[in-house]
Structures are given as structure tokens and as C-alpha cells.
Chains A and B, each alone.
Chain A
Amino acid sequence: MERDNHQVGETEGVKICDPPCESNPPADTLATSLSLLGNHMFPYPLERKHRSAVEEEPADSLSDVTAEEESLDGEPHSHQVTTLETEETESSECQNNVSTQQLDIENEDTATDNERSDSGEFVVTMLAKAKLEEQGLGVKGGSSPLLEAETQEPPAFMSHRDEDVTADSWRQHRKHVFVLSEAGKPIYSRYGSEEALSSTMGVMMALVSFVQSGDNIIRSIYSDGHTVVFLQKGPLVLVCVSSSRQTEQQLRGELLYVYYQIISMLTQASISRIFEHKKNYDLRRLLAGSEKILDGLLNLVDSDPCFLLAAVQCLPLASSLRDNISQILQKAITPNLVFSILIANNQLLTIVQEKTVIEDSRLEPADIHLLLNLIGASSAFQAGEIWTPICLPLFNPDCYFYAYISYLDPPECTVCLLLLSTDKEAFYAVAECKRKIEEAMMAQNSLSLIAKVQSYSVSQVGVSDLRHFMYKPFDVPDTYQQLTQFTSPEMEAPYSSEEEKMRLLDLYRYMHSRIHSTSRPLKLIYHVAENETLLAWVTSKFELYTCFSPLVTKACAITAITKLLRWIKKEEDRLFIRYPPKYSTTPNPSKSSRGGKSDQQDSTDNGFLSLL
């Protein structure tokens, strides 16, 4: 979206302040910053072609992009902007694509226009500055797409991170995600290197802080075809630019997952401390090497409905086998062990929890999703036994658990044991638990039984027109401590290709948004789409999404659902972990619970704060 190659002629009169001008954030520059973002996301054709060299000067940090007022004379003096004119993202030759955008700011509801030329200059200046900074920095991978482009040398090998951010293909990604610090420093970008995008991020931050200076919060911007969603969490700002048809609410939920995954690696407490200590800290120092984890998360979010449903899907397994395995885990304990989790083919097989720990807080599906993603993304060398700190952000965002991760079936590495302890020093004790578990599973031949297990086909339900479904039962009071789960068959033809899978998921997302609409929630939706018919139904007991062949009649669909519900009831013990087993490893109940976190759970920062 962003065009970095702007002409750098008319830059006088604009300054980038550093450090931030907290004292008097100019209220009348909101409009400017709005149009700035517009310019970045939806660039000007006129300035695009040039890539003039910038005079070297000491590289300013782009920690703040507050504009000086002098250059902005004649700007509308209103901080109550809801619409602005900018150009369309997708089009590179975009003169003809002017569209009206809506900016959704809490409480506010007026309109204004924007002077283009001034803000255009501003962008140019910022880009120039940003470019200098990038050169001074020494760029990740040794070659920023930006710098590379200047020598006209296309990189031989392109990963997401090496992508040319000035190329059309970059702008055509369905969903961009950016993470930046409050000072406007880039932290993460899903596509393209953060360096090449630091100016875009700076502008985004300018936008966020201008709106903030008027005690408002920027939430989203709509243009045709694109939704830009903002989420500020502590010192981090997350931005999603999506051309999918997902709702703002859903996109914000996804940004929240990204935030939580960062927290799972660094903890909320350390992030706050870092930025209290040093406002323009480059958080990439700490996240270096973790990009793959965030990339993996975003791919999962796009392809796995567990995030949409906020529920966990377990591997379907005969309840007797699952119970046996649970008992094995239940017996292999050591002090301060709090969760024992067995995963097969990236699906939950069983989870045993420490009694007192879950008494006052349940394990949220999101924590499990983040955990599974982290394991999946970071265990390529699978022969060893891993011992690593990890935070479960929904359980407690400020503390670390210590995770023991080991595969039980090398070299295939499909069955993974995950033991979480609150004790940093417990590696050898926890490793001993693994050996007990391994032995017991060997004795019962569990591994070969697990190896046979697969997810199920919708044909097992025996309803001819039913192509796919997702069923999420709600907690009933007596199983309150249960994990929120859902069940869903394999996606089969006609949803075998990636595109078709995505299309079905998009339909589900649409149905989900209607069901969960804040303004007009629905209980039952019958939606006849071009290639299929969908029916979504929410009751006090469950939430159900079904997909039928297009020719199904309403009456047929209803009968089918009755049959489906009956089938699920019958298979319930196999499809769900019915009563998550527990064990007790802490003699003193107060100790490892959420309330007593400081006692045992490690609230330190792994020592990285000492490196600041």
C-alpha cells in the first residue's frame, strides 16, 4: 500500500519532532494525520515514480511524527473527523479511484475535507526521514526492499519478510498486520520488512496519537474494499488492514491474538517496564527470531476456525483410550506441575490440570491456541527436550510458566507432551515425569493406538446434503471448569482446495458476524449462497454452523440438523474431553493460584531487562 518512493523536493517547513511533543499536541492536525495515513495506504500517483536520493544527515529516530503546525496552515481546525477523501489502496494508477472513507471514532460524528498538498509534503518528508533512519540502522537481512529497489536488483529469493513493499503484490495481500510501539517504532509486519515500513508505521502512530490527544480512540477506517482496524494495548499499537469481508469486531479479535502471542513470549509486565524505561526501545531486539511464531499465528487465524469460535477442538478418541492416557498423565507428577497436555497432530488429546490452580481461573482456549502455535512454530529440531519460559496471557499476563516440551515418537514427532511448571528449576524433575509417562504409554501400547486416530468425515453423520459443520456446546453449570470446545469434521470436497476452504470459512465468518452482531444479533440464519446453503443457529446450549449443498430445502435442512444433533449427542464422549481430569501437586492451595502468583510463578523477565 505504501509507496516509499516519493519525490523529496518540497520538504521545507515540516519537522519531525523527537522526542514527542507531549506538551501541546496540535489539535488541528488530526485531519492532516488522517490524510497522511490515507496517503500511505493509498498513495499518490504523482509522487510515486521518483526515488530521489536523500542528503545524508544524522538519522533522526522516527520515534514521533508529530507535525509542527506551521506547515499545516489552512488545515481544517476540527478534530471531529469522520470522513476523508483519499485514494483507493489497490490501484497503483489510482487517480480515478477516489473513494469516500469512513473513519470511525468513538463519540464523534462530523465531517471535514483535507488539503492534499500539505499532507503530501508531509508524507514525503517523513519518508525521507524514515529512509535515512533505515540506512543508518543497518537493515535486517542486509537488504531492505527499499534500498534494494534503488539498485534495481530484485532479490533472488523472497520470503515474506523480503517482499518489496512497493510492489502491487505486496498491496494485494488479503490481510496485513502491523505492530508498532507508541513511539511509532516498527515491531512487526506480516509482509515485508519492518524497516521498509517504518514510515507507514510512523504515520499510523501519528494518527492514533492525534485522535488520542482529543481524548478519543481511533478504532477503524473503512474504504471500499478495505477495513483498517486499530487496537492499542498498553505501549503497543496493532493495526490490521484487511480486504477480507470480516467485521471490525472479528479483525480486532485477531489483533488481540497477536498481542497475546507477543505477551506469551515477553509478558505484559516486562513490556510495560521496558517502555517505561525507554520510550523508543526497539522491541524487535527481543522479538528477533519470533517472527515465525507471529507469522504462523496469523496463518492459523486465517485457516482454523478455532480462533473465530474461541474454542478448542480435541482429537476424536474413544473415551476409554482418552481416559487411560489421562490417568497416565495424572500419575506422573512432581511439585509445582500445573498442566500436563498431550497433543497429537497439533490437536489436543488430553489435558490434566492442577486442582487449586484452576479453582479460581479456568484455562482459556486462547491460551491453548497460543501454546500450540508456539510449539508448532518453534520445534523443528525435535530430538531434544525443550525447557522454556512461557506466559499464558489470559491466565496471567504478567508471569511465566516453564514449559517442558518433548516429542514422544521421534523421529515422526507427531505426539507432543507439554508439561507446565511454575518452578524455573524443575527441569530434571519434570523430565522425570516424562519418562514415567513414556514408560506407562509403552506398556499400554498407547502410541500405536494414538497413531491410528484421525479426524472424522461428515459422511459418518449419515445426512446426505450436509457438507460440513461446526458445533460448539456451551458450558453447563456442573462442568464450569471445562474447557470451551467445538467439534468439526474434516473439510472435504468440494472444500478441498485452499481457496475453497477459505471461501467456506469466510461464509462461516459472515454467519458468525450476523449471529454476534452487537446491534442486531440473530438466533437463526438461513443463508442461501451461490454454491451452498448455510444455516447457523445459536441456543442457550450450543452454537451451530452448518453447510449444505445448494439444493437443500429449508425443511430438509431442519431435519438434517435434528439428525446431526442426535449424532453428536451419541458421539459426545468421543468428540469432546468430557471431564478434564485433575491432580494436586501443590500442598499449599494459595501458592500457585492466580492470586498467589508472586509466590511461585516467575514474574521476572528472563533477565533481558538487564540488557536495556
Chain B
Amino acid sequence: MPEVSKMKKPDVKLVLLGDMNVGKTSLLHRYTERKFKDTVSTVGGAFFLKQWGPYNISIWDTAGREQFHGLGSMYCRGAAAVILTYDVSNWQSLAELEERFLSLTDTANQDCIYALVGNKADLTDPRAQLSQDSDEASKDRMDCGEERTETQVLSACPTPPASPASLSGITLGKQVTPEDAMALYGRILRYKGLEEKSSLPAEKMCFETSAKTGYNVDNLFEALFDLVLPSILRNKNENQQSPTVDLEECRGAKRGRPGCC
């Protein structure tokens, strides 16, 4: 995406947080490149600029490793949305969000929105095993229906090496239900001192995705982009000192699905 890197001032900032290995990089890669490929554990944080309609959205993909713990609050500074990511097949990864990552979001914007994303849904939910990516994966799904499902589950079995979460042993493997995530969402609102009634509802802010099959990934990012639109417009206004908001423009942005950047 060389053109994108021509720095235009980003209009808004999104941050991906979560334990190592939950699939943050894979999610972002699935969304921006329409692919699922091998990743290496992220160092520090990686900055991406995503063109969405007329807007420039910056996304920080942060490292989940403890080694980079304190940097999270720097990456979160001024964020309009934080995507708290866990692995649906690993209970500890949800617990880590509360224990380790939530406090890092203190530097985010006052009106920052929080999404809870359970990734690797393909491991637990048959629906998520069907590839969502019309352009790429549908063909290989065609020629080996049953078999493919099986190999997917198999290949996912060897849990990747030494996630700090996996060191704690016992909880490894227990699955996280959407209810667990919604309960955590409630606790996040409480932590932030937000009224449940006046905030975005849990059903809307808890997602289950699969970076592997593409399940729900576009939905996630585009729902969030829609939700941060007010922040975008406000920032744009501040930047351009323009007093009015062009409603036509933002509607256009919603519709114009950002293709392959």
C-alpha cells in the first residue's frame, strides 16, 4: 500500500490491544490485504493508515507481549476507538484484557468507544469456518467441503508457543462465550465511569471474528469506522476550521466500501 503511506494527516485513531497471539495483526491484515498469512509476533507497535472514503484512519497494531506493556498507553493516547481483542478458545486472553490492558486505555479520548473482539471464532463456531471472503477463499471451499473443516481445526490445534497466558496453565483451552464478553463489556463501562444506558450497548460492541476465514472482520472494522465518524468529523472541523459538516460526504463514506486500499 505505498500510496497510502503518503502522509495525510490522520483524521482519527484506532488501537488494537490484546494479549500476544490472539490475532490482532492477522485481523488487520485480513481487513487491509484480504488475506490470512503467517505473522510474526509484533514488536512495539505498527502504524497503518487506512483510507476510508475521504477519511484517513490511523490504526495502531500493538504488541501483546509483556515486554512492551507500558507502551500501550502511549499508543492509546487520543484514540477514538480501542479494539480489545481476545482469543475465543483461550479464557486467559479475556482475563488479560481486564488485568493488563484496560488500564492502558486511560490515555484514550474521553468519548473513546470500546469494542470487545473474540477472534479465532473458526475454532469454536462452525458458522465462522465458512470463509467470508467472496473474492479469494470461496474457490478452495468448493472443492473440499468436509475435509477442509477438519484440517482447519487440526492445524489450529498446536497452540502457538509460550503465550504468557498459556504459562498459567489451568485456564488454557476453556472457551469464552459471548455472554462472558458482554459481562466484561459492562465492567469496562463501569471502570470508565460510564452509564450503561447512555453508552453503546454490549450487543453492538462485542464481536466474534475469524481472521482466518474472514468471518465478521469487515463488519467489525466498518461498524467501528461508522461509530467514530463523529470524532472524524469533529477532528476534520478542527483541522480545517470549517464550521459546517457536509452530510453528503459522510454518507458517501459509509457506502463507499474501502476496497483493497
Interface residues, chain A, CB within 8 Å of chain B? 136-138, 140-143, 155, 157, 161-162, 193, 265-266, 282, 284-292, 374, 377-381, 383-389, 403, 406, 410, 424-425, 427, 431-432, 435, 438, 604-608, 610-611
In the complex, how many angstroms separate the beta carbon of B84 from the nearest chain A beta carbon? 18
Proximity string of chain B (27-62) to chain A, C-beta cutoff 8 Å, 1 when within and 0 when not: 001001100001111111111100000000000010
Are B46 and A381 in touch, CB under 8 angstroms?
yes
A-B contact pairs, 14 of them (CB 8 A): A140-B161, A142-B159, A193-B161, A287-B67, A289-B65, A291-B161, A384-B46, A387-B45, A427-B47, A606-B67, A607-B70, A607-B72, A608-B70, A611-B66
Instruction: Please report the C-alpha to C-alpha distance between residue A406 and residue B5 in the assembled complex, in whole angstroms.
Output: 10
Interface presence of B167 (CB below 8 A): yes
Say what secondary structure dominates the interface of chain B. Answer: loop
Are B38 and A284 in touch, CB under 8 angstroms?
no
Q: Which of A136, A137, A265, A424 contacts B67 (CB 8 A)?
A: A265
Are B160 and A141 in touch, CB under 8 angstroms?
yes
Identity of the chain B residue whose Cβ is nearest the Cβ of A161 in the assembled complex:
B161
Q: Which of A380, A435, A606 contacts B68 (CB 8 A)?
A: A606
Extra pairs beyond A141-B159, A288-B20 (11, CB < 8 Å): A142-B158, A193-B161, A285-B66, A286-B66, A289-B65, A292-B40, A381-B25, A381-B42, A383-B33, A385-B46, A386-B47
Are A285 and B164 in touch, CB under 8 angstroms?
yes
User: Which residues of A sit under 8 angstroms from B20, Cβ to Cβ?
Assistant: 288-289
User: Which residues of A sit under 8 angstroms from B29, Cβ to Cβ?
Assistant: 381
Are B44 and A388 in touch, CB under 8 angstroms?
yes
Identity of the chain B residue whose Cβ is nearest the Cβ of A193 in the assembled complex:
B161
User: Which residues of A sit under 8 angstroms from B63, Cβ to Cβ?
Assistant: 289, 388
Instruction: Please report the C-alpha to C-alpha distance between residue A136 and residue B169 in the assembled complex, in whole angstroms.
Output: 8
Q: A381-B39, A424-B74 are in contact. Are A140 and B162 (CB under 8 A)?
A: yes
Q: A424-B74, A431-B47, A610-B69 are in contact. Are A288 and B2 (CB under 8 A)?
A: no
Instruction: Please report the C-alpha to C-alpha distance between residue A193 and residue B166 in the assembled complex, in whole angstroms.
Output: 14
Proximity string of chain B (69-105) to chain A, C-beta cutoff 8 Å, 1 when within and 0 when not: 1111110000000000000000000000000100000
| A-B CB proximity, top 3 nearest | A607-B70, A388-B44, A138-B169
Are A425 and B43 in touch, CB under 8 angstroms?
no
Interface contacts (Cβ under 8 Å), in number, total: 144
Are B43 and A388 in touch, CB under 8 angstroms?
yes
In the complex, how many angstroms separate the beta carbon of B245 from the nearest chain A beta carbon? 26
Interface residues, chain B, CB within 8 Å of chain A? 1-2, 5-7, 20-21, 25, 29, 32-33, 38-48, 61, 63, 65-74, 100, 158-164, 166-170, 172
User: Which residues of A sit under 8 angstroms from B70, Cβ to Cβ?
Assistant: 604-608, 610
Are A410 and B2 in touch, CB under 8 angstroms?
yes
User: Which residues of A sit under 8 angstroms from B100, Cβ to Cβ?
Assistant: 611
Identity of the chain B residue whose Cβ is nearest the Cβ of A425 in the assembled complex:
B74
Identity of the chain A residue whose Cβ is nearest the Cβ of B7 in the assembled complex:
A435
User: Which residues of B sit under 8 angstroms from A141, Cβ to Cβ?
Assistant: 158-162
Instruction: Please report the C-alpha to C-alpha distance between residue A243 and residue B255 in the assembled complex, in whole angstroms.
Output: 64
Are A137 and B169 in touch, CB under 8 angstroms?
yes
Instruction: Please report the C-alpha to C-alpha distance between residue A41 and residue B48 in the assembled complex, in whole angstroms.
Output: 49
Identity of the chain B residue whose Cβ is nearest the Cβ of A409 in the assembled complex:
B2
- For B29, B72, B158, the residue with the greatest tally of chain A CB atoms inside 10 Å of its CB is B158
User: Which residues of B sit under 8 angstroms from A157, Cβ to Cβ?
Assistant: 158
